[in-house]
Amino acid sequence: TVTDEANIPLPGVNVIIKGTTTGASTDFDGNYTIRANTGDIIVYSYLGFIAQEITYNGQTSLNVILRQDTAQLDEVVIIGYGSTTVKDATGSLDRIDSEEFNKGAIVSPENLLAGKSAGVRITSSSGSPGSGAEIRIRNGGSLSANNSPLIVVDGIPLSGGSLNAINPNEIESYTVLKDASATAIYGSRATAGVVIITTKKGKTKAPLSVEYNLQASVGHLTDKVDVLSASQFRQYIIDNGGDENLLGAANTDWQDQIYENAEGGIHDLTISKGFENGSLRANYNLSNQNGILKTSQYRRNAINVNFEHRFLDDHLKVNLTSKGSLVDNRFANEGAIGSAVFFDPTQPVEGSWGGYFEFEDADGTVRDLAPRNPLSLLLLNDNRQRARRNISNIQFDYKFHFLPELRLNVNAGFDYEEYEGRYFSNAAAGFNNLSLGQRPGQGTYDGVNKNRLLDFYLNYKKEFESLITGIDITAGHTYQRFYNIERNTDLDTSTGDFIDNIPIPFQLILESYFARANFTLDRKYIFTATYRRDISSRFSKANRNADFPSAAFSWLISEEDFLKNSQVVSNLKLRLSWGITGQQDVGGAFPYLGLYSKGDDKSQYQFGNEYVNTIRPEGYNEGLKWEEASMYNVGLDYGLFKNKITGTLDLYYRKNKDLLQYTQVPAGSNLENFLDQNVGETVSKGIEIGINATPFRNDNFSWDVSANFTLSDVEVTKLTLSDDPNYPGTPTGPTLSGGVGNLIQIHSLGAEPNSFYVFKQVVDVNGRLLEGVYVDLNGDNTINDNDKYRFQSPTPAAFFGFTSMMNYKNLDFSFTFRGSLGNYMYNNFRSANGYADAMLVQVGNLHYGNGSTHALETGFQTNQQFSDLYVENASFMKLDNVSVGYNIPFEHINLRASLTAQNVFTVTNYSGLDPEIADGVDNNVYPKPRTFVLGLNFNF
Amino acid sequence: CTSEIDDLRPINQETSATVFDDPASYKAFLAKIYAGIAVSGQQGPAGNPDLAGLDEGFSNYLRLYWKLQQLTTDEALIGWNDGTIKDLHYQNWTAGNEFIRTMYDRIIYQVSLANEFIRQTTDEKLNSRGVDASLKAEIQIYRAEARFMRALSYSHALDFFRNVPFVTDEDIVGAFLPKQTNGTDLFAYLEAELTAIESVLPGPGQNQYARADKAAVWMLLAKLYLNAEVYTGTPRYADARIQAEKVINSNQYSLDGDYRHLFLADNHLSNEIIFPIAFDGLRTQAYGGMTFLVHAPVGGSMPLSEFGVSSGWAGVRTTKNFVEKFPGMENSPDGRELFYTNGQSLEIPNISKFTDGYAIAKYKNVDRNGNPGSDTSGNFPDTDFPLFRLADAYLIYAEAHLRGGGGDANTAVGLINTLRVRAYGDTSGNISTSDLSLDFILDERARELYWECHRRTDLIRFGKFSSSGIWSWKGNVQNGTTTEAFRDIFPIPTSDLSANPNLTQNPGY
């Protein structure tokens, strides 16, 4: 019989004779039968327990007690300036390892995480190759300041921007820090959460290993937006009194013209070797990815080298990591996407403007305000960029000889990027529409982003056999300096001169002191406190310093006597935390200083016969300071049934005050009408549930599932200085197609940020839409913008992820579902193209434009873009990826082959192509392809 | 390390502490105050904008000034779908209207710019920077010009909003809440300011082109006095007449022989323009301003080459009610009628359709010989905007006289007839003393000055803007209807009410 420590029988334990395939499995009562010879070694293994080997001495029955494996709880988690274990962690943090990452040909590291962690939303809005994704942890709570989390790569906080310089295959793990107890050690940059990325390192005393990965992929367009076909369009124009003579004879599907299947290939080669006192690991990655929109292309060459050596009897550990990348991009002109919607489908593709058809005026020139041939926008434009980036750091970790519990850690690193780009186009292209002597626009640009870091800390960590059973204290200092500059040179198309701009570099210095103390009482009660003082060059001397404290307590309930022998609860930990974090990322480098900016040569003013270049005093806010968020978190970590089911449950409440808002200043009080100011308050709340379970596991077959579910809510609780109840709020969001400068979203008091601000559409008794008829919400008998109301927002009320991984012998099968509930989308494709005039009424009345088939459904004559008709529920569930793999074991080489599909299908009622667009406005978005990937992995 | 933070300073960008090390900065700053009503930011035609919260091209001073003065009247309507733009013609705007809000911001922005200039050029500041005597003398004129530009914008504030936050160079830049003024106080302030700078500014036509001189001050004062009854309740017609007379009697200005030349690419050559807003196709570029005024009225079958532009924006037309101001309508003997009717209908069933309503071919980017302006791409015109011109002084004289402001009836009729001789090409359109009535003046101002940013103010002065006076689509019905009298002034934008608790909303909103 096999039992656990509490003498409970364990069913399904693997019993095998070492070195053979002879084995058995215990039944429900823990009993088993096996044939063995004296001297055989019998191995007992069971998930969550430490395997045991017993030498058979001829007994008739062998009773074995397996001890629970607590290794899962001892798993090391990297946190800010140090590490802890899952068991000791007091904050809300989530470690996601490479095995759990999303599968597929993934170029952008963010996408590895999509759907994997409660409270974390990853939204990639574009299908453009190499485009990144937006990360939101607990929604952020800022209005104008940055809502993206701080990203720390091997100890270097990045300054935002693309993560593409990092090869996703080289990421060992992500740690997502969610509550203030975990993030407050990053102080002024932590309000939106922190993501710590740890890249792969070599292992000591390991043999030479060579691994090669190949992924070949092909992506294709999943769907097109619904526009009229050529014959429908022809009929529509005729039926609506249009002039048939203005139509062409062709039958062109412009969307078919601009999209193509996109191939991609990823090569990844890794060599690693461990030595007695260190290790070396090197990786080379070549990623090539074409986009489904013609002429978009992405290529990355990346190397990652890691070297570790231990000196002085392991007292000094030196670790050097260097990640280099060379990224080449060719950017397609995405204006072609809108043009393909709008362009008359009865016109031919080919013509006389660089080989492409364009609408012409009577004098034979290109018609200025007609749309441009979508294909020419792609094929006659050339816009490329090359970026070189290196992120390197060297870390010294010294254990003091006289006091090995005390460590000094020094980390010096930099993130250096230089890039250059150029754009030009074919002079014959219709979109250039050159007049005599004029040249097509062209230019070059180049820039440098520098980020230097030096930090050190002392850590004292010791376990005791007294009331205080553990102490872990860290204190340190960090200094980081940023410098970005971009120069550009553009052709003056009329004079032919190249004009250089005067680059104004961005500069920022952040200096901080930080400390963390961790006490464990009686192995059950853990207290953590952190403190950070930040000094930022972004604010005036009086406001430059700020303190960010946090405190947390956790109670290992399962260590208490009443649970220690529980059959159900194997691990239970309660976490309570509070802390204050900050936000200082508002764009400008010196928002507190009175600056002057020079006007260029095209914004001169005439004084008599001379033209004078101007200077302009800029607005400034001497009193600008940090935005502050206080967050409370209650969490529960649990493990049930011998940790067959584990998970977390978190509740949080966060209040962001003194919001950094780019908002209206009292007119006359400054030199701009909008400035960054500390006004307003938001409150965010949420519930996050994470579950991992192993429904089944034996030698041949295992099945692991993990799921997470998040409920969240953000509300603006204070917006302006006076909180005038008549103030509808601050318009925000991307500008719409259809009219100029139109915004559909608003930040309003008492509503979710970015709420849609629209008219309530009136429908007649037969359910027919009444064009331009809206509900008179304020009852003043006139319909004007006082009748708009706030209707939903792009922020989901709930979202979830579900991952399943199965292994049967050498075969594995996994998939990830992801979904979102209560997120709304403004369908700008329909609102800008779904009415008769959009097709029939064009400037000059000499051509027509195609439109959305929605025009046929609504019967609208004119633009009704502020109707709530266009705000749609975009809740969705998506099969993000599904993957099948097979391991082929050879003598000296392991080969694994896999087939993966990405972006497989989406279940949604949303009428547009994609219910998942970060800003909530669906307007000519680069569609995300569905991709099939064949992967081969060789391991020597 | 901490001192490194303290020592961090901008690179390639001047601060208020360093910018005046270069003596040329004073003129450059003054030029910005003028450019503030022509362009939208520090990059032409767009980029690095002065204002936020609205599309940059829309946020242009002249474009907004024109929209508020013209689209709200019988002279113009627009077919676009840009936010609340149609509410201007419907006269159902709210305090949240972004065009009204940005005009308000733009006006106060100009005031703030001028205030900063005046603060930066006190004797104390100039002495501390060691500015030499000749530049110091020149800067005294700059300061008077800055005060003129501030008064110009405040006069628009008075006309549009009446009760605006009031700030001068005595205030500091930073976190404070400006106090609200009223029509009477603001009028008195403007009168005092303009009177004070009159003696400092160069005589009529003596300053550089496009810079303010005494005549610009007289014109602004004349217009303020003409509307004083509306602004303060106290009529000042005699003062209006006196200021107009100063302009006329300066003999520096004369009517252009051809009415149409006033609106062309080479209109800087016209001797009739007293104070322009200057544009240049290559050096003063904006998507607002004259670019808007030349492109937006072009659409339908209008030939682009005649307008010197590469495209028409097909937006602005006029109403039937305005067309009817001309005897014979589109076939009027009055040569100031510049209607384009080919393919256009007089009636306007669909306001969004450019061909509904007659187009107006007034502003063009071609010179008097028909040659296009300097920007060969046909985007940005050379045409200047005639903000003050002599014909207006004539009309002010006549109206002030009729309203009891003194002067002489024969002179008044004589001045009107000078305009009408130019319009008709002969004396067939001349009027007699008995024809001269206030109603005639209102219509004559429309015929002479349409689309030149006068109409709304004129209609209000004559009591015909809101609760009386009907034209197509006023009140958001095709045949037009009256609206409520409170619409004679615009609302204080809710955005500023929420930012500044010192402010009270104008009545009715």
Say how far apart CA B366 and CA B296 lie, in whole Å.
16
Residues B189 and B287 in one domain: no
Measured between CB atoms, does B51 come within 8 Å of chain A? yes
Nearest CB among A502, A509, A604 relative to B283 is that of A604
Give the end-to-end CA distance of chain A in Å, rounded to a whole number.
41
Q: Is B459 left (phi over 0), alpha (psi -120 to 50) or beta?
A: alpha
Write down which residue in B383, B410, B429 finishes a domain.
B383
Say how far apart CA A4 and CA A28 lie, in whole Å.
13
Residues B196 and B287 in one domain: no
Helix/strand/coil percent split, chain A, to 5: 10, 50, 40
pLDDT by residue (tens digit) across B168-189?
Answer: 999 988 878 999 999 999 999 9
Residues B491 and B364 in one domain: no
Say how far apart CA B308 and CA A509 lie, in whole Å.
52
Residues B64 and B164 in one domain: yes
Measured between CB atoms, does B133 come within 8 Å of chain A? no
Answer whether B35 sits within 8 Å of A609, measured CB to CB.
Answer: no
Say how far apart CA B314 and CA B359 lie, in whole Å.
9
Name residue A693's beta-bridge partners: A645, A705
Look at residue A69 in the predicted model and tell me its pLDDT: 61
Q: Provide CB contacts within 8 A for A402, sequence distance 6+.
A: none
Residues B170 and B34 in one domain: yes
Percentage of the residues of chain A whose pLDDT score is greater than 70: 98
Q: Is B254 left (phi over 0), alpha (psi -120 to 50) or beta?
A: beta
**Nearest Cα residue to B104 out of A649, A665, A531:** A665
> CA of B377 to nearest chain A CA: how many angstroms apart?
6
> CA of A607 to nearest chain B CA: how many angstroms apart?
6
Nearest CB among B95, B178, B284 relative to A605 is that of B284
pLDDT by residue (tens digit) across B441-465?
Answer: 999 999 999 999 999 999 999 999 9
Question: Chain A, 711-740: which have a CB under 8 Å from a chain B CB?
Answer: 719-724, 726-728, 730-731, 735, 738-740
- Residue A903 sits at φ, ψ, to 5 deg, of 55, 55
* Contact (CB, 8 A) for A747 and A732: yes
- Residue A587 sits at φ, ψ, to 5 deg, of 95, -80
> CA of A459 to nearest chain B CA: how many angstroms apart?
23
Q: Is residue B339 part of a domain?
A: yes
Q: Is A330 exposed, middle or buried (0-12, 13-18, 19+ CB in 10 A)?
A: middle
Say how far apart CA B105 and CA B100 lie, in whole Å.
9
* Contact (CB, 8 A) for A125 and A916: yes
Write down which residue in B326, B351, B383 finishes a domain.
B383
Look up tokens 């359109």; give the residue: B429
Say how far apart CA A879 and CA A817 lie, in whole Å.
4
Number of domains in chain B: 2
**Stretch A824-844: mean pLDDT:** 89
Say how far apart CA B79 and CA B179 lie, in whole Å.
38
Residues of A in Cβ contact (< 8 Å) with B313: 369, 843
Q: What are the CA-CA distances from residue B218 to residues B65, B199, B244, B390 (Å)?
A: 21, 11, 7, 11
Q: Is residue B316 part of a domain?
A: yes
Residues B192 and B300 in one domain: no
Look at residue A82 in the predicted model and tell me its pLDDT: 86
Residues of A in Cβ contact (< 8 Å) with B108: 667-668, 673
Q: Provide CB contacts within 8 A for B445, sequence distance 6+.
A: B395, B399, B454, B458
pLDDT by residue (tens digit) across B465-492?
Answer: 999 999 999 999 999 999 999 999 999 9
The average confidence (pLDDT) of chain A is: 89
Name residue A153's beta-bridge partners: A156, A197
> CA of A835 to nearest chain B CA: how many angstroms apart?
13
Q: Is B216 left (phi over 0), alpha (psi -120 to 50) or beta?
A: alpha
Write down which residue in B329, B355, B383 finishes a domain.
B383
Answer whether A724 sits within 8 Å of B13, measured CB to CB.
Answer: no
Tokens for A738, please give them: 């259809």
Say how far apart CA B389 and CA B404 lie, in whole Å.
23
**Residue A205 DSSP code:** T
Q: Is B199 exposed, middle or buried (0-12, 13-18, 19+ CB in 10 A)?
A: exposed
Q: Which domains does chain A have, with CATH numbers?
A: 1-68 (2.60.40.1120), 72-199 (2.170.130.10)
* Sequence-ordered alpha helix ranges (H) in A120-172: none
pLDDT by residue (tens digit) across A223-250?
Answer: 999 999 999 999 999 999 888 899 999 9
Cβ-count burial B286-306 (b if 16+ within 10 Å, e if not): bbbbbbbbbbbbbbbebebee
Q: What are the CA-CA distances from residue B403 to residues B218, B236, B408, B416, B450 (Å)?
A: 19, 10, 12, 16, 22
Measured between CB atoms, does B289 come within 8 Å of chain A? no
> CA of A756 to nearest chain B CA: how many angstroms apart?
14
**Nearest Cα residue to A699 out of A182, A166, A96, A13:** A13
For B26, name the nearest residue in chain A, comparing CA atoms only: A615
pLDDT by residue (tens digit) across B190-246?
Answer: 999 999 999 999 999 999 999 999 999 999 999 999 999 999 999 999 999 999 999
Question: Which of residues A36 and A73 earns the better pLDDT score?
Answer: A36
Q: Is residue B399 part of a domain?
A: no
Q: Is residue B109 part of a domain?
A: yes
Q: Is residue B452 part of a domain?
A: no
Instruction: Return the number of CB contacts < 8 Å for A and B.
Output: 328
The CATH number covering residue B109 comes to: 1.25.40.390
* Contact (CB, 8 A) for A138 and A182: no
Q: Is residue B236 part of a domain?
A: no
Measured between CB atoms, does B44 come within 8 Å of chain A? yes
**Residue B71 DSSP code:** I
**Residue B69 DSSP code:** I
Measured between CB atoms, does A496 come within 8 Å of chain B? no
Q: Which secondary-structure segment (H or E) carries A818?
A: strand A811-821
Answer whether A841 sits within 8 Å of B501, measured CB to CB.
Answer: no
* Contact (CB, 8 A) for B176 and B224: no
Q: Is A462 exposed, middle or buried (0-12, 13-18, 19+ CB in 10 A)?
A: middle
Residues B42 and B161 in one domain: yes
Look at residue A161 in the predicted model and tell me its pLDDT: 67
**Residue A227 DSSP code:** B
A8 pLDDT above the threshold of 80: no
Say how far apart CA A368 and CA A361 lie, in whole Å.
8
Measured between CB atoms, does B180 come within 8 Å of chain A? no
> CA of A346 to nearest chain B CA: how many angstroms apart?
23
> CA of B266 to nearest chain A CA: how many angstroms apart?
14
Look at residue A73 in the predicted model and tell me its pLDDT: 59
Residues of A in Cβ contact (< 8 Å) with B178: 666-669
Answer whether A722 sits within 8 Å of B285, measured CB to CB.
Answer: no
Answer whether B285 sits within 8 Å of A509, measured CB to CB.
Answer: no
Tokens for A159, please give them: 């300054």
Domain assignment of residue B158, given as a range: 23-200+484-504
Question: Chain A, 764-803: which have a CB under 8 Å from a chain B CB?
Answer: 782-786
Measured between CB atoms, does B206 come within 8 Å of chain A? no
Tokens for A245, please give them: 């003579």
Answer whether B10 sits within 8 Å of A494, measured CB to CB.
Answer: no
Cis check: omega of the bond before A404, within 30 degrees of 0:
no
Measured between CB atoms, does B82 come within 8 Å of chain A? yes
Measured between CB atoms, does A603 come within 8 Å of chain B? yes
pLDDT by residue (tens digit) across A549-571?
Answer: 999 999 999 888 888 888 888 88
Q: Is residue B393 part of a domain?
A: no
**Stretch B54-65: mean pLDDT:** 93
pLDDT by residue (tens digit) across B362-416?
Answer: 999 999 999 999 998 889 999 999 999 999 999 999 999 999 999 999 999 999 9
Question: Chain B, 449-488: which have a CB under 8 Å from a chain A CB?
Answer: 476
Question: Three-state DSSP class for B14?
Answer: strand
> CA of A101 to nearest chain B CA: how many angstroms apart?
41
> CA of A432 to nearest chain B CA: how many angstroms apart?
10
Residues B173 and B297 in one domain: no
Say how far apart CA A528 and CA A522 lie, in whole Å.
15
pTM attached to this predicted model: 0.88
Residues B196 and B285 in one domain: no
Tokens for A780, please give them: 């003043």
Residue A386 confidence class, pLDDT cut points 50, 70, 90:
very high
Say how far apart CA B39 and CA B279 lie, in whole Å.
9
Answer whether B27 sits within 8 Å of A612, measured CB to CB.
Answer: yes
Question: Three-state DSSP class for A889?
Answer: strand
Answer whether B476 sits within 8 Å of A782, measured CB to CB.
Answer: yes
Question: Chain A, 813-872: which have a CB under 8 Å from a chain B CB?
Answer: 837, 841, 843-845, 861-863, 865
For A481, name the nearest residue in chain B, comparing CA atoms only: B5
> CA of B435 to nearest chain A CA: how many angstroms apart?
41
Q: Provide CB contacts within 8 A for A732, sequence distance 6+.
A: A143, A743, A745, A746, A747, A753, A754
Q: Which secondary-structure segment (H or E) carries A761?
A: strand A761-763
Residue A439 confidence class, pLDDT cut points 50, 70, 90:
confident
Cis check: omega of the bond before B45, within 30 degrees of 0:
yes
Determine how β-strand A545-556 pairs with β-strand A569-583. Answer: antiparallel
Look at residue A33 in the predicted model and tell me its pLDDT: 83
Answer whether A843 sits within 8 Å of B313, measured CB to CB.
Answer: yes
Residues B68 and B193 in one domain: yes
A75 pLDDT above the threshold of 80: no
For A729, name the nearest residue in chain B, comparing CA atoms only: B495
Answer whether A863 sits within 8 Å of B352, measured CB to CB.
Answer: yes
A173 pLDDT above the threshold of 70: yes
* Tally of residues, chain B: 509
Answer whether A604 sits within 8 Å of B98, measured CB to CB.
Answer: no
pLDDT by residue (tens digit) across A594-646?
Answer: 899 999 999 999 999 999 999 999 999 888 888 999 999 999 999 998 888 99
Q: What single string gives the DSSP state of each residue in B308-353?
A: T-S-----EEB-HHHHTTSTTGGG-S-TT--EE-TT-BSS-S-TT-
The three-point CA angle A115-A119-A125 to 5° equals: 55
Amino acid sitting at position A727: Y
**Stretch A342-352: mean pLDDT:** 94
**Stretch A152-165: mean pLDDT:** 83
Say how far apart CA A701 and CA A419 lie, in whole Å.
49
Look at residue A72 in the predicted model and tell me its pLDDT: 57
Look at residue A863 in the predicted model and tell me its pLDDT: 87
Say how far apart CA B500 and CA B492 lie, in whole Å.
11
Residues B283 and B195 in one domain: no
Radius of gyration of chain B (CA): 23
Q: Which secondary-structure segment (H or E) carries A379?
A: helix A374-379
Question: Chain B, 369-408: which have a CB under 8 Å from a chain A CB?
Answer: 375-378
Residues B33 and B140 in one domain: yes
Q: Is residue B442 part of a domain?
A: no
Say how far apart CA B79 and CA B119 lie, in whole Å.
43
The beta strands (E) that lie in B105-204 are given as 165-166, 179-180
**Nearest Cα residue to B373 out of B381, B385, B361:** B381
ipTM: 0.96
Question: Chain A, 82-111: which have a CB under 8 Å from a chain B CB?
Answer: none
CB count within 10 Å of CB A289 equals 22
